[in-house]
Amino acid sequence: MTRETIHVTGELYSYLLRVSLREHEVLRRLRDANAGHPLATLQISPEQGQFLAFLLRMLDARKVIEVGVFMGYGTLWMALNVPEDGKVIACDINEEWTGIARRYWKEAGVEERIDLRLAPARQTLDALVAGGESGSFDLVFIDADKTAYLYYYERSLELLRPGGVIAVDNVLWSGRVLDVKDTDPDTIAIRQFNERLSNDERVDLIMLPIADGVTLARKR
């Protein structure tokens, strides 16, 4: 045992993936295809994807929302781990990137489980609330524009059932949350988001040092 989370070196990270990653072949090819993209860091890591899949299985999740799709790697992890009659509502605004994602979703045989909404996520979440779907979702994964995190969180909490989970990516922001001289709007937004959640009694909360930091908030 150790009193603090250990530093994960590149060698140790490779070992972690080698002995624990269970990645569908289509997922692996999608990850490899995206590796050379200039914005490849927008994609979640494979252990994050597997972590989301683990959560979905634990929750017996059938209804999921993803805010921020990029090229659909995380979406595919989730679609592969909901039942055949399950649904992942995937929110994004980029038709080019999600067009690439669709090809891999189809190849994996799960495209019918993914409801891609090409519109600002605020609009999609508002429409779900207006459509009477509050309290019906099992999990929401937020990984999009940081300055809107609090809005996405509040709407997601409304849409989530009691016992459901919101997972939020990039909460450690490569350590920049500690740099008081960093006044970038995204950095400020992440700091404010983290502080707000730390005092939110509506949820059970944990922040985990997975990849760039993942916060889990379980609705009470």
| pLDDT for res 2 | 84
Ordered DSSP codes for the chain: --SSPPP--HHHHHHHHHHH----HHHHHHHHHHTTSTTGGGSPPHHHHHHHHHHHHHHT--EEEEE--TTSHHHHHHHTTS-TT-EEEEEES-HHHHHHHHHHHHHTT-GGGEEEEES-HHHHHHHHHHTT-TT-EEEEEE-S-GGGHHHHHHHHHHHEEEEEEEEEE-SSGGGGGG-TT---HHHHHHHHHHHHHHT-TTEEEEEE-STT-EEEEEE-
pLDDT of residue 49: 98
Domains and CATH numbers, the chain: 10-219 (3.40.50.150)
Per-residue pLDDT of the chain (220 residues; tens, 9 = 90+): 789 999 999 999 999 999 999 999 999 999 999 998 999 889 999 999 999 999 999 999 999 999 999 999 999 999 999 999 999 999 999 999 999 999 999 999 999 999 999 999 999 999 999 999 999 999 999 999 999 999 999 999 999 999 999 999 999 999 999 999 999 999 999 999 999 999 999 999 999 999 999 999 999 9
pLDDT score of 22: 98
Structure confidence at residue 176 (pLDDT):
97
- pLDDT of amino acid 58: 98
